[in-house]
Amino acid sequence: MAFPHRPDAPELPDFSMLKRLARDQLIYLLEQQHEVDKLYKVENKPALSSNEQLCFLVRPRIKNMRYIASLVNADKLSGRTRKYKVIFSPQKFYACEMVLEEEGIYGDVSCDEWAFSLLPLDVDLLSMELPEFFRDYFLEGDQRWINTVAQALHLLSTLYGPFPNCYGIGRCAKMAYELWRNLEEEEDGETKSRRPEIGHIFLLDRDVDFVTALCSQVVYEGLVDDTFRIKCGSVDFGPEVTSSDKSLKVLLNAEDKVFNEIRNEHFSNVFGFLSQKARNLQAQYDRRRGMDIKQMKNFVSQELKGLKQEHRLLSLHIGACESIMKKKTKQDFQELIKTEHALLEGFNIRESTSYIEEHIDRQVSPIESLRLMCLLSITENGLIPKDYRSLKTQYLQSYGPEHLLTFSNLRRAGLLTEQAPGDTLTAVESKVSKLVTDKAAGKITDAFSSLAKRSNFRAISKKLNLIPRVDGEYDLKVPRDMAYVFSGAYVPLSCRIIEQVLERRSWQGLDEVVRLLNCSDFAFTDMTKEDKASSESLRLILVVFLGGCTFSEISALRFLGREKGYRFIFLTTAVTNSARLMEAMSEVKA
Amino acid sequence: MDCYTANWNPLGDSAFYRKYELYSMDWDLKEELRDCLVAAAPYGGPIALLRNPWRKEKAASVRPVLDIYSASGMPLASLLWKSGPVVSLGWSAEEELLCVQEDGAVLVYGLHGDFRRHFSMGNEVLQNRVLDARIFHTEFGSGVAILTGAHRFTLSANVGDLKLRRMPEVPGLQSAPSCWTALCQDRVAHILLAVGPDLYLLDHAACSAVTPPGLAPGVSSFLQMAVSFTYRHLALFTDTGYIWMGTASLKEKLCEFTCNIRAPPKQMVWCSRPRSKERAVVVAWERRLMVVGDAPESIQFVLDEDSYLVPELDGVRIFSRSTHEFLHEVPAASEEIFKIASMAPGALLLEAQKEYEKESQKADEYLREIQELGQLTQAVQQCIEAAGHEHQPDMQKSLLRAASFGKCFLDRFPPDSFVHMCQDLRVLNAVRDYHIGIPLTYSQYKQLTIQVLLDRLVLRRLYPLAIQICEYLRLPEVQGVSRILAHWACYKVQQKDVSDEDVARAINQKLGDTPGVSYSDIAARAYGCGRTELAIKLLEYEPRSGEQVPLLLKMKRSKLALSKAIESGDTDLVFTVLLHLKNELNRGDFFMTLRNQPMALSLYRQFCKHQELETLKDLYNQDDNHQELGSFHIRASYAAEERIEGRVAALQTAADAFYKAKNEFAAKATEDQMRLLRLQRRLEDELGGQFLDLSLHDTVTTLILGSHNKRAEQLARDFRIPDKRLWWLKLTALADLEDWEELEKFSKSKKSPIGYLPFVEICMKQHNKYEAKKYASRVGPEQKVKALLLVGDVAQAADVAIEHRNEAELSLVLSHCTGATDGATADKIQRARAQAQKK
């Protein structure tokens, strides 16, 4: 199936350069600079090595510093002296040194940096592998990673030429963009003279669109992520998938031919596709029968290996599908999806609320319940006070009082809020907007939204036509728009914004939407002259998600690219999904 | 040609010495040189004169004057000497003037007479006074050696990093040595001194007597000693007029000479150059100058005036009231070319070129001659090299012209040496100019390097020339022009008579955004001169806000520093400023500052959360942020506190905070939790088992699983657990226990608020079809079909669906019809459907 790209679609830049660069740096650091000969994973337990020197390769997190300090101090107590080296990736933070100092081991360790920030997970996907970005920035307001993002962008522009067109939305996007520009200015004009390879860059904050990230994913890759959790582009398939007694680590990327064809498909098509594929495979095997010796020799030497490989992958993915089916039917996945769609469309709110309540009461899953509550809150501009209290009470009864803090976090991040008393005016407002011009309505909405930061999802959805009007069944086999990634019920907001801006080459005409997103000061466009950019590069778009993006969004944009003849490249602080977002906000007992 | 060698003087068979004038001095000296303390820096450096020294016992009321001149006699500075008596003057390698006072204090002045700093040579020196002092140069920098009144030596090998070393005593030394010098060997400084007929070498451990090998007998005293520029050679002048020349290690004699003058010479210095053919010493008396080497005859010059010798790398500079001359051994290339009747290839080439200019056919003859010997390349090289050693531009030109002429007849002569020589000569001629007054030779220039030469020009504030040289040599901006502009700016900020605005504007106009110029460095200089306001103005031109921060902190503009740090987006920088502020301000002010900077605040909070919990609490308290305070105590209740009382107390504090924050919900929830905790504790005491830290739901479940139904009911009532939850809870728990009897009893206790479908589902989950069927019958009509399908009664499900005439239900049932067994049912549904459609 997997729709082919248009013949004139541009070639993707070669990201293997990034990998080579990072690898060489690391090898140099470990072997030449620090003479490391054996690698261990940093875990919270005593180091086993009896070596004279310990070298830690860590993220600059305070937790890690504490761990190192405990090791060093334990060594000191037992009268042991070794050399300690800490390599921070992607950079060292002053706060980390402070902790080392406070723990009294600053003099015992020497520090180094490994400026590795871009990991190419796939031909079109770069990840910074900074899952903490989301919590640090969107909850704690900590801006430390923004500089890292700016530096990553700077690296990209030195390798792949400048970006002639820049767009962005969100406070963090704007800061990252400005820092990046400063970096470029400090450098000599060398990069500026280069021919751009990538024509557009689009920066987007995760908090511009929480809704999409909170929905259950039904595209195959997203579903695999939701079910098995993809880590760094690979997934651990347990015994229930491999139908043996061993787990198997599988790389999921464009190299996997089978996966590449189904990754962007709606789950309902995947089974059919896989069985078709299995039949084809069988047919190819069967060709052996009529062969003479020479043909057979050819077959064995050339095709058999490929077929076997494909066979192996096929059975893995079929196993994965079965496992997903089993899990999903158990919890009545259909009901869940139905509720989500109802929330997105904004009908039967009462019914959905009681569904969520039951969900909590039955202790189905703490993370899922939270997710549904957040989805309800954002789509409805906050919960009405009665529901807000009762759902929270139920949740606390089910999962313990520490989640008072979780709720406080969610509220701060704007994910789960209470409707201010004034918000009951929403209804009035929508009536008013029908009567007066858009501009006047805008003013009224402004007045309302000044009361609290609101998601305005309903209004945005209407403006951008996020809920497709469907006559009859939405044919998921032949998608017509990006809504297919959510069974035709909803076009991802983030992707729609990108589509609209690219179409207009600016934010013009989207003022209303930007205002509703509370991003009036943080939407920007920056175009330079395009004479140097080839028409091919102008159809290459780098989308930067600050705070993470989901596989559904990636699939949706890949679809958009195929439709319009673009190619999208994704740069994200980490690949995320609803569960990861919720876990980032949750407080758990240590 | 003959006239060119007129000033060549042969010494022995192998070498010639020549003396030529560098400058005619018009420095208008009022005093004789002999009445002054004189110091001249090597590498064509400046000359310092301190007139009217104390030793001449003039009227003490007249204050002496310290004058500094360039090598061409241009006055650079003049100042009245107001400090104590000076014993010795000397220049450091950085061209700073070191003035050693009698009391052992060393005052350091800049080239322009600006006082830099002073240091002392120690208490011992202070007590015994300074008898004599020498300034010498080592690999590390410049050293000072002092002979005290107690005839002891103290030295420091590097005045930049002052470490005083007192040398060991010389046994039996009662009077000052007749002569002494500092030696530098194997990176260690020694002192060599002569007492009567004996020589002693002092290193930092011991004093050892040494004897020069092959010293002529009859010496009763050494009058003068000289060490060569590179510390490799040593010359000794004895009272018999005998001169011993050898290696400084005193292991080898090179040559000796006996002159007819026995009077102690005024000065004696080595005159040699790297790869010198001859090693010679220049000895100066009042009216006579003598060059002696390994030859029976010496070269003698008459001195018309009082003169002073300055040893250089490749010769000796001699200056007097009216002239400044250079005496050196004629370099090999020049000698080859210009020696009378020389047939060296270079000489022939020079001749050929001259004939060519005269349009004479002889040019061809000469050229042919060189080519026949295959020496044209060598000839060109010789001419280029010789050009470098010429002082007169005319001579340089004619040699270069010859080289260029010869080059035409060569196929592959690499052009670099020629081009570089042209460039170097242009630079050299520029700095040798009378107005600049740095008479560097080519060898000295190469030794010094262009970077150092530029530094020296900058030191003389010759910024335009330095920039021109950079541009001419196309040096990279960062090393060249930008660096010089930055120095200029640093000088500019010291002009106190110009207003802050004007200085800032002038600097910005010149510098613009030249890459590599750091405005913050210039600002730092301005601050160093006490011009804080100017520094702040300059910092505004600094494009990288991160660079502004350290200086702002130093200037105690911490708040401005904080906002600049935030602007830079560098969280590390913000953090640095924060810690600075934390120490600088009292806690209240610190918190207030944080309050106005949300970015800094959240950064600090993050840090506190991990490292300083108490500070975090104070922060919230300061802000009256009761909501966060509440959260803080909640976290403490399960993370920090162990004992149940402590936990309850923490929760109580949290509840109070929540009330203050008007968050009734959280307050109530917290109070509930306190109750629950106490209760769980009681349950553990009474029933045993694990209850603490379970959620309310789990607590009740655990009670039911333990068959404490009464207690469970009680708990549910106490905590107002809604019916729905309770039913779900009980249902799940009883099914887990497989207590079907109790479950049935429970189901009949009253009408189920969650319907009966869950009962069916849960029984089926436990694979108890029998029990499930019991409840299926009680399921309400809307969910009946689902329930029947769950228990696998497809036929009855079909009946109900048909009865309901519900299309969706019919399809649902149909999808459950599998295989032959349900064939009949499927038919039935199809029929019903058809019927429905007919209607």
Cα torsion through B660, B664, B670, B674, rounded to 10:
90
Q: What letter would DSSP give residue B8? A: E
Position with higher pLDDT, B610 vs B207: B207
Average pLDDT on B823-835 reads 79
Is B543's Cβ below 8 Å from some Cβ in A? Answer: yes
Q: Concatenated DSSP letters for B230-272?
A: TS-EEEEEETTSEEEEEETTSS-EEEEEE-S--SPPSEEEEE-
Strands B15-24, B323-329: pairing kind: antiparallel
Is B119 part of any domain?
Answer: yes
Is B106 part of any domain?
Answer: yes
Contact between B226 and B263 under an 8 Å Cβ cutoff? The reply is no
- Could A93 and B693 be called an inter-chain contact, meaning their C-beta atoms sit closer than 8 Å? no
Residue B599 pLDDT > 90: no
Provide the pLDDT for residue A455: 74
- Could B611 and A182 be called an inter-chain contact, meaning their C-beta atoms sit closer than 8 Å? no
Q: What letter would DSSP give residue A12? A: P
- Average pLDDT of chain B is 86
Where are any strands of DSSP class E within B139-216? 141-148, 153-156, 165-166, 179-185, 188-195, 198-202, 207-210
The tokens 């959905």 sit on which residue? A352
User: Residues B396, B436: one domain?
Assistant: no
Residue-wise pLDDT tens digits, A461-488: 999 999 988 777 778 888 888 999 999 8
Average pLDDT on A563-585 reads 93
- Tell me the three state secondary structure of residue A248: strand
Is A511 part of any domain?
Answer: yes
Is A98 part of any domain?
Answer: yes
Residue B71 pLDDT > 50: yes
Provide the pLDDT for residue B60: 57
Residue B53 pLDDT > 80: no
Structural domain boundaries enclosing B423: 414-474
Write a three-state SS string for A465-481.
Answer: CCCCCCCCCCCCCCCCC
Last residue of a domain, one of A268, A300, A331: A331
Residue A186 pLDDT > 80: no
Which residues of B fall within a CB distance of 8 Å from A141?
598-599, 602
Provide the pLDDT for residue B762: 85
Is A235 part of any domain?
Answer: yes
Cα torsion through B725, B726, B729, B731, rounded to 10:
-120
Average pLDDT on B476-494 reads 80
Strands A165-169, A200-205: pairing kind: parallel
User: Residues B270, B353: one domain?
Assistant: no
Strands A125-127, A567-572: pairing kind: parallel
Provide the pLDDT for residue A190: 55
Residue B344 — pLDDT band, cuts 50, 70, 90? Answer: confident
Residue B730 is encoded by which pair of tokens? 């009980």
Residue A428 — pLDDT band, cuts 50, 70, 90? Answer: very low
Last residue of a domain, one of B210, B227, B249: B210
Q: Indicate the residue of B570, B598, B721 with minimum beta-carbon distance to A397.
A: B721
Is B740's Cβ below 8 Å from some Cβ in A? Answer: no
User: Residues A241, A321: one domain?
Assistant: yes
Chain B stretch 414-473, residues whose beta carbon is closer than 8 A to a beta carbon of chain A = none
Closest CA to B341 of B332, B333, B351: B351
Provide the pLDDT for residue B1: 43
User: Residues A349, A379: one domain?
Assistant: yes
Report the number of distinct structural domains present in chain A.
4
Q: Identify the closest residue of chain B to A60 by CA–CA distance.
A: B572
Residue A309 sits in a domain whose CATH number is 3.90.830.10
Position with higher pLDDT, B328 vs B546: B328
Residue A273 pLDDT > 60: yes
Structural domain boundaries enclosing A49: 33-113
Residue B447 is encoded by which pair of tokens? 């030794």
Last residue of a domain, one of A113, A133, A158: A113
User: Residues A237, A325: one domain?
Assistant: yes
Cα torsion through B505, B509, B513, B518, rounded to 10:
-50
Is A126 part of any domain?
Answer: yes
Is A440 part of any domain?
Answer: no
User: Residues B158, B260: one domain?
Assistant: no
Compute CA distances A240 → A237, A252, A580, whole Å: 8, 18, 23
Average pLDDT on B87-93 reads 91
Paired with B48 in beta bridges are B39, B68
Residue-wise pLDDT tens digits, B617-635: 888 888 888 888 998 898 8
Is B720's Cβ below 8 Å from some Cβ in A? Answer: no
Average pLDDT on B581-588 reads 84
Is A26 part of any domain?
Answer: no
Among A277-291, A433-447, B254-268, name the one with the lowest average pLDDT. A433-447
Residue B289 — pLDDT band, cuts 50, 70, 90? Answer: very high
In this structure, the number of other CB atoms found within 10 A of the CB of residue A110 comes to 12
- Could A405 and B635 be called an inter-chain contact, meaning their C-beta atoms sit closer than 8 Å? yes
Q: How far apart are CA B712 and CA A313, in angstroms?
A: 52
User: Residues B235, B299: one domain?
Assistant: yes
Residue A437 pLDDT > 70: no
The length of chain B in residues reads: 839
Residue A530 pLDDT > 80: no
User: Residues B77, B197: one domain?
Assistant: yes
Single-letter code of the amino acid located at B407: K
Single-letter code of the amino acid located at B137: H
Provide the pLDDT for residue A529: 64
Is B753 part of any domain?
Answer: no
Residue A3 — pLDDT band, cuts 50, 70, 90? Answer: low
Last residue of a domain, one of A113, A129, A148: A113
Residue B323 pLDDT > 70: yes
Residue B155 pLDDT > 50: yes
Q: How far apart are CA B500 and CA B552, in angstroms?
A: 17
Q: How far apart are CA B554 and CA B576, in angstroms?
A: 12
Q: What letter would DSSP give residue A266? A: B
Paired with A248 in beta bridges are A237
Mutate to test the interface with A, among B566, B607, B627, B693 (most CBs of A within 10 A): B607
- Backbone phi and psi for residue B65, each to the nearest 5 degrees, phi listed first: -115, 135
Q: Quote ipTM for the complex.
A: 0.82
Strands B130-138, B115-120: pairing kind: unpaired
Residue B683 is encoded by which pair of tokens? 């349950």
The tokens 């934390």 sit on which residue? B582
Compute CA distances B590 → A401, B480, B579, B837, whole Å: 34, 44, 10, 80
CA geometry: angle B520, B524, B530, nearest 5 deg? 145
Report the number of distinct structural domains present in chain B.
4
Q: How far apart are CA B27 and CA B20, in angstroms?
A: 19
User: Residues B246, B293: one domain?
Assistant: yes
User: Residues B352, B323: one domain?
Assistant: no
Residue-wise pLDDT tens digits, B664-683: 899 999 999 999 999 998 99
Is A538 part of any domain?
Answer: yes
Which residues of A fall within a CB distance of 8 Å from B602?
140-143
Q: How far apart are CA A349 and CA A353, in angstroms?
A: 6
Longest dimension (CA), chain B: 150
User: Residues A365, A263: one domain?
Assistant: no
Residue-wise pLDDT tens digits, A352-402: 999 999 899 888 889 999 999 999 999 998 899 999 999 999 999 999 888
Is B166 part of any domain?
Answer: yes
Is B36 part of any domain?
Answer: yes
Where are any strands of DSSP class E within B196-241? 198-202, 207-210, 222-227, 233-238
Paired with B79 in beta bridges are B66
Provide the pLDDT for residue B822: 72
Residue A330 — pLDDT band, cuts 50, 70, 90? Answer: low
Residue A432 pLDDT > 60: no
Is B382 part of any domain?
Answer: yes
Nearest-Cα distance to chain A for B635, in Å, is 7
Paired with B499 in beta bridges are none
User: Residues B194, B49: one domain?
Assistant: yes
Residue B419 — pLDDT band, cuts 50, 70, 90? Answer: very high
Is B204's Cβ below 8 Å from some Cβ in A? Answer: no
Single-letter code of the amino acid located at B98: L
Q: How far apart are CA B72 and CA B67, in angstroms?
A: 14
Which residues of B fall within a CB distance of 8 Å from A93?
571-572, 575
Is B599's Cβ below 8 Å from some Cβ in A? Answer: yes
Is B200 part of any domain?
Answer: yes
Residue A500 pLDDT > 60: yes
Residue A151 sits in a domain whose CATH number is 3.40.50.1910
Is B549 part of any domain?
Answer: no
Residue B143 sits in a domain whose CATH number is 2.130.10.10
User: Residues A136, A195: one domain?
Assistant: yes
Average pLDDT on A97-119 reads 88
The answer for residues whose C-beta is within 8 angstroms of residue B324's C-beta and 6 or more apart is B21, B22, B23, B24, B25, B71, B72, B73, B317, B318, B439
Percent of chain B with pLDDT over 70: 97
Nearest-Cα distance to chain B for A308, in Å, is 35
In this structure, the number of other CB atoms found within 10 A of the CB of residue B211 comes to 10
Q: How far apart are CA A455 and CA A439, in angstroms?
A: 19
Q: How far apart are CA B215 and CA B258, in angstroms?
A: 12
Residue B268 pLDDT > 90: yes
User: Residues B157, B132: one domain?
Assistant: yes
In this structure, the number of other CB atoms found within 10 A of the CB of residue A392 comes to 23
Residue A451 — pLDDT band, cuts 50, 70, 90? Answer: very low
Mutate to test the interface with B, among A190, A396, A417 (most CBs of B within 10 A): A396
- Backbone phi and psi for residue B317, each to the nearest 5 degrees, phi listed first: -95, 140
| Whether residue A90 has a cis bond before it, omega within 30° of 0 | yes
User: Residues A499, A566: one domain?
Assistant: yes
- Could A93 and B572 be called an inter-chain contact, meaning their C-beta atoms sit closer than 8 Å? yes
Q: How far apart are CA B153 and CA B195, in angstroms?
A: 14
- Could A179 and B515 be called an inter-chain contact, meaning their C-beta atoms sit closer than 8 Å? no
User: Residues B75, B190: one domain?
Assistant: yes
Residue A124 — pLDDT band, cuts 50, 70, 90? Answer: very high
Rg from Cα positions in chain B: 49
B285 CA to centre of own chain: 50
Is A21 part of any domain?
Answer: no
User: Residues B70, B159: one domain?
Assistant: yes
